[in-house]
Amino acid sequence: MNTSRSRRRTAKTLRSAALAVLLTTGTLTAVAPGARAAAAARTETPVASTSPVAGVTESVVRVKVPLPASFGNRPVACDWLSYLRYRSSGGPAASADADRILVAQPGILEGAGAFDSVARNTVARAAEQGRHIEFWALDRRSNCLEDHTGIDSGDEHTAVDYYYRGKQVNGRTFAGFTGNDRLGWMAKLGIEQTVRDQYDLLTAELPDQQLRKRKVLCGGHSLGGVITGYFAAADFDGDNSTTADAGYNQCAGYFALDTTVSTDLGDLSGSIPDDTNLPDIGLGYGVVQAGLDSGVLPRSLSAPVLLNPETMTLLAIAGVGALQAPDAEADLPSYLPANTNIEATNRFLFSKDAAAFLTGSPAVKDFRLSNDAVLGALMDDDSVPLAFLQSSVGFFDGGPIADKNFPVANGGSGAPALFGTEYKAIPEQPHGPLYTWRNYDRVGDPDDPGYKSADGTPFTNAGKEVTDIRELARSLALQPLDFTEQYFPTKLVTDIELATSPQVKRLVAHPDGLTANPTLTVLAGDGLLAGRIPADLHPVVADGYQHLDVLTAAPVQNNGRPEPVSTNLASFARTPK
């Protein structure tokens, strides 16, 4: 990989960002004895599910692993690590007795709940072949700040009232979204602590290192591939001459989902929006860390449009509505309170052109949309203009459709990777028909209108639709650990951006660890690496998939074949003879 070229490309993406966050110091030193003892505290709670994928048992596991005292004051919940455990219902109850265990790191602005579909599909596919595997979807420590109370009510209006109108749910009042002044402990939550958390969790759950080396497969989605790279290259006892503790010796193999296992962000162009609070990486490591410690630089990644705790919560609320009454006419756009954040997000996501964005007319509340159509507009690759949020869940239905030529025009050349490659569409007639949603498996049916762009290009076809909108809604609204991530630690990205600084470079103690184990790379055919797929990695390419589809795709595709990501993961997890 050409590191200098990829760094220039990423720096160019970040240059337009507003000034904001960055890093911490330290090496991967041995964990304090007290922390190891504390790791014995553990809870595991069964998760009831309405998933159509049978034979999979889900639970949420929490393990107490306190942060070092140097992190300062933080909520009690943030001294626990959490993950979603998926296992074969007919398999062993103890993880150590499973045939294999896949451990997955989430991407940017992503939580453990995003892995729900791929985890279930993979466990079920392996069980069909007579093998009992587990899939652990990890949650980042910073997700301890999220309040699920409103979402867990199962009612869209109740959720809005809880988060935006101060109304109580089950005797609890929302404390508000956490501001930068209360995130001081996150100033040190970078790549070092993130891989340390994975190591501590694995050693607490699976104390036998030889068992980990035989049975654990380490990987992730998007940024999770880079985190896996740092994990593989890490040394956890402070002595590089001993290797039983090295990251690569905790894994039997690696897997990368629309990413690569590396220590570089170059392959993730388009995964970080231009208007986040990331600065141009021209500041030194020490300056950045001082800014984070003082709070001059924001400690959590955010942007004024869509990507902030408030609007990330809206995605889950839309999921609640789509589950509650999928075909009913939505009132979420009008029921939400009017504020600058929500107005700017609605304009960015639902403006036909620049004039509509600037004037706010017509607004999303001027259209009649079903609850499914609201969720589709927020998450589908033919609607949302942010590549890292895109999935292929179907298309609008029920009325005339127009080209969405904002923020970029359809059919143009040289569009930033951030916006993806698909033509974007939008309902055309305000105050008109009820726009509904055609699910992925009904695209191309005889009654499909076959909507086309003004230049005659079909907006979509059956081969490009792979995710069930109902299952996407379930993952957003019903998981005990969120699909999205409200408080992403900015230091995690800026550490990696400053990979050549001595403070970060020393974390790559075993660079050969990245290639020490076999690797499965599965890429979305229309995802972040579309058009520049690294042939030397011999990847599996899932045709028609977008960046999120590798996590959310339905178990059976429109061509009648089994879902390829989980099929290949199950094959990769086959225990060697």
How many C-beta neighbours within 10 Å does residue 242 have?
11
pLDDT higher than 90, residue 338: no
Three-state DSSP class for 452?
strand
Q: Give the model confidence (pLDDT) of 563-576 as tens digits.
A: 999 999 999 999 66
- For the ranges 6-20, 29-43, 100-114, 493-507, the lowest mean pLDDT is seen at 6-20
Percentage of residues of the chain with pLDDT beyond 70: 89
Q: What is the pLDDT of residue 304?
A: 72
Mean pLDDT of the chain: 89
Q: Which of 345-349, 379-383, 523-527 has the highest mean pLDDT?
A: 379-383
Among 93-97, 254-258, 386-390, which is the least confidently predicted range?
Answer: 386-390
pLDDT score recorded for residue 412: 76
Q: Convert the pLDDT of each residue in 292-312 to its tens digit.
A: 999 999 999 887 777 889 989
pLDDT in tens, 191-227: 999 999 999 999 999 999 999 999 999 999 999 999 9
By C-alpha distance, which of 330, 442, 438, 351 is closest to 402? 351
User: What's the Rg (C-alpha) of the chain?
Assistant: 23
pLDDT-derived band at 90, boundaries 50, 70, 90: very high
Of 201, 228, 231, 226, nearest to 28 by C-alpha is 231
Cα–Cα distance between 47 and 59 in angstroms, integer? Answer: 5
What does the block give as tokens for 186? 């996150």
Q: What confidence score (pLDDT) does residue 311 get?
A: 87
pLDDT at 24 over 70: no
Tokens of 120: 């279930």
pLDDT at 1 over 70: no
Structure confidence by residue, pLDDT tens digits, 230-283? 999 999 999 999 999 999 999 999 999 999 999 988 767 655 555 555 555 567
Phi, psi of 201, rounded to the nearest 5 degrees: -65, -45
Per-residue pLDDT reduced to its tens digit, 417-452: 677 789 999 999 999 999 999 999 999 999 999 999
Give pLDDT, residue 265: 82
Residues 533-554 have a mean pLDDT of: 93
Sequence-distant (6+) residues with CB within 8 A of 499 are: 263, 264, 505, 508
| Furthest CA-CA distance within the chain | 70
- pLDDT computed for residue 276 by the predictor: 53
Query: What letter represents residue 200's amino acid?
Result: D
% of the chain surpassing 90 pLDDT:
80
Three-state secondary structure of 21-40? CCCCCCCCCCCCHHHHHHCC
* Residue 229: both structure tokens together: 């790279």
For range 75-80, the mean pLDDT: 97
The encoded tokens of residue 520 equal: 């499965």
Identify the pLDDT of residue 40.
54
The answer to whether residues 103 and 219 touch, using CB atoms and an 8 Å cutoff, is yes
Q: Binning pLDDT at 50, 70 and 90, where does residue 41 land?
A: very high
What is the pLDDT, as a whole number, of residue 413?
67
The span from the CA of 164 to the CA of 436, in Å, is 27
pLDDT tens readout for residues 157-180: 999 999 999 999 999 999 999 999
Given this model, what pLDDT does residue 272 score? Answer: 57
> What pLDDT is stored for residue 302 in this prediction?
83
Q: How confident is the model at residue 16 (pLDDT cuts 50, 70, 90)?
A: very low
Provide the 3-class DSSP secondary structure of residue 301: strand
Q: What is the pTM of this model?
A: 0.91
Query: Scanning the structure block, which residue is given the tokens 């553990």?
Result: 42
| Dist CA 133 CA 567 (whole Å) | 13
Q: Is the pLDDT of residue 87 over 70?
A: yes
Predicted confidence (pLDDT) at residue 9 exceeds the cutoff of 60: no
| Kind and range of the H or E run holding 45 | strand 42-47
The verdict on whether omega for the bond into residue 362 sits within 30 degrees of 0, i.e. cis, is yes
Q: 510 Cβ partners below 8 Å, 6+ apart?
A: 232, 233, 234, 235, 240, 243, 246, 247, 248, 516
Both tokens of 230, joined, read 């740092």
Residue range 460-477, pLDDT digits in tens: 999 999 999 999 999 999
C-alpha angle 527-305-227 in degrees, rounded to nearest 5: 45
Say what the pLDDT of residue 270 is: 54
C-alpha to C-alpha distances, 263 to 8, 269, 422, 497, 539, nearest whole angstrom: 15, 14, 29, 10, 18
Q: Are 422 and 393 in contact (CB under 8 A)?
A: no
pLDDT at 49 over 80: yes
**Amino acid 22: pLDDT:** 23
Distance CA 248, CA 232 (A): 4
Q: For 308-332, how does the pLDDT look when each residue is reduced to its tens digit (9 = 90+)?
A: 899 899 999 999 999 999 999 999 9
Per-residue pLDDT averaged across 65-93, rounded? 97
Q: Is 58 helix (H, G, I), strand (E, B) or coil?
A: strand
The pLDDT assigned to 531 comes to 75
